[in-house]
With several copies, the nearest count.
Chain A
Amino acid sequence: MTGIDREALAARIARDIPEGAYVNLGIGAPTLIANYLPDDLEIILHTENGMLGMGPKPEAGRIDPDLINAGKQPVTELPGAAYFHHADSFGMMRGGHLDVCVLGAFQVSERGDLANWHTGAPDAIPAVGGAMDLAIGAKDVYVMTDLVTRDGTAKIVAECTYPVTGVRCVSRIYTDLAVFDVTPDGLAVTDVFGDTTLDELRTITGLTLLDRTP
């Protein structure tokens, strides 16, 4: 069973983002998507610490410590950018104005519950940041993840066992092996990558999966 690597997955997600979309790319793997957005399309990136129109990382020596993204990495400003404070920024998310938000995940349930903030380990220092706001903060919440953890456990599950970040908030799950839409009838596979088959995906997840591949 073969799939695609993280870079190819980022490119695949980038293809689904239309021109003119307002998009928040979560910390970690989702930030790779920015590298695959076509240069000839205008897609406006939001960073929840207070900016629309975020550009790529600065050239060497031109880092501006006043200009960072939500991952606290240096970024740049595009023509047409705007700055705002945190209440306005999170109001923008909570109010449903973003078109797309792409997040990483520990687990996603077949109903679209997301767990990505806390492993539930008793000695962990809890830290949530904007994860719960992002989970409910866009018209479409996409998850970008490997389907299976390093120890072989599926991350798409019937019920999340980790503490959830948001309930029924995910609309689509992009993984290295397949893409899943969260539908009222359950999970629907829309794309498979490499030589992966639907039956293999059913075995891995233990879930009923609808076939919506082309």
Chain B
Amino acid sequence: MISKVSPGIQDAVAGIEDGSTVMIGGFGRAGQPVELIDALIEQGATGLTVVNNNAGNGDTGIAALIGAGRVRKVVCSFPRQVDSHVFDAKYRAGEIELELVPQGNLAERIRAAGSGIGAFYTPTGVGTLVAEGKETRTIDGREYLLEYPLRADYALVSAFKADRWGNLIYRKTARNFGPLMAAAAATTIVQVDEVVELGALDPEAVVTPGIFVNRVVAVGERPWLHDGEFVGTEKVA
């Protein structure tokens, strides 16, 4: 019987080596796998390259990982936010490297890695600073940049529910980068609210098929749900 379910969260993050490239899902805090990141901090891996849309918010999640000094480099589209003080300080102190990638090119580079595309031509960024040093080509009268796949050793993803084969569904805009990163990493580790019986997920509605998932860990219901009903909160997490 296949079971990708890890007994505990430390089992889920076991083996992540120093110097790994780790994709971390989420757009801001939506879909950020905070419990897995906390486990990774405890696990101790350092010298990491982190791929995420942002460079951490507040003092938790990715910000905490950066604050703990475990991140050598961030690949993201939007590091500077009102609450990105942890990254900002490290960056200004020259203690962290930044590779800036426009958001859609970031998503497409991750997709290319997962789907075996060697490189692709994108119109986004043509004529801007991010095009510097990049190959360009005019196709059908429009100019494009050549972009390469972005792969990872590990992906940490937050989904809503999983089955023991690793099939995943997400919740609302927390889906964001999860399905892409799951396919682009050698080892994909997923936290979910709940692991359901095999067959309980509608095969038409599975967003990430289990083929892209290596480990699943249940972390309990998100605080804005109660027994599966949406009850809301006063603020964004």
Contacts and interface: CB of A to CB of B under 8 A. Distances in A.
A touches B in complex, CB < 8 A: yes
A52 B199 contact: no
Given A49-B27, A130-B77, A85 B104 contact: no
A145 interface: no
Contacts of B183: 91-92, 95, 97
A42 B1 contact: yes
B210 A66 contact: no
Nearest to A54: B173
B179 interface: yes
Contacts of B104: 48, 86, 90-91, 93-94, 130, 132-133, 137
B232 A62 contact: yes
Interface stretch (A9-17, A29-37, A73-81, A196-204): A73-81
Interface string B103-114: 111111011011
A66 B222 contact: yes
A167 B123 CA distance: 10
B236 A96 contact: no
Contacts of A133: 102-105, 124
Contact of B128 (A69, A84, A166): A166
A67 interface: yes
Contacts of A87: 107-108, 110-111, 115, 180
Given A50-B175, A127-B100, A136 B123 contact: yes
Nearest to B230: A64
B210 A68 contact: no
Interface string B196-237: 001101011011011110000000001010000010111111
Interface in A22-68: 22, 42, 44, 46-53, 58, 60-68
Contacts of B8: none
Contacts of B209: 52, 82, 84, 92
Contacts of B100: 126-128
Contacts, number: 234
Interface residues of B, number: 76
B176 A85 contact: yes
B2 interface: yes
Contacts of B207: 85
Given A125-B88, A130-B77, A67 B234 contact: no
A83 B201 CA distance: 12
Given A77-B172, A84-B209, A163-B128, A65 B88 contact: no
B14 interface: no
A92 B31 CA distance: 21
Contact of A66 (B116, B125, B163, B224): B224
A101 to B, nearest CB: 13
A140 B4 CA distance: 22
A182 to B, nearest CB: 16
Given A85-B177, A87-B108, 19 more contacts: A42-B165, A50-B27, A53-B203, A63-B234, A66-B224, A67-B172, A68-B27, A72-B29, A82-B210, A83-B173, A90-B124, A91-B111, A94-B104, A126-B79, A126-B100, A126-B129, A129-B77, A167-B127, A167-B128
Interface of B: 1-2, 27-31, 53, 77-81, 88, 91-92, 98, 100, 102-108, 110-111, 113-117, 122-130, 163, 165, 167, 170-180, 183, 198-199, 201, 203-204, 206-207, 209-212, 222, 224, 230, 232-237
Q: Which 3 pairs from chain A and chain B are nearest by CB?
A: A79-B199, A91-B115, A90-B104
11 contacts: A47-B173, A66-B174, A68-B28, A68-B236, A80-B201, A83-B170, A90-B107, A93-B104, A94-B104, A125-B91, A129-B77
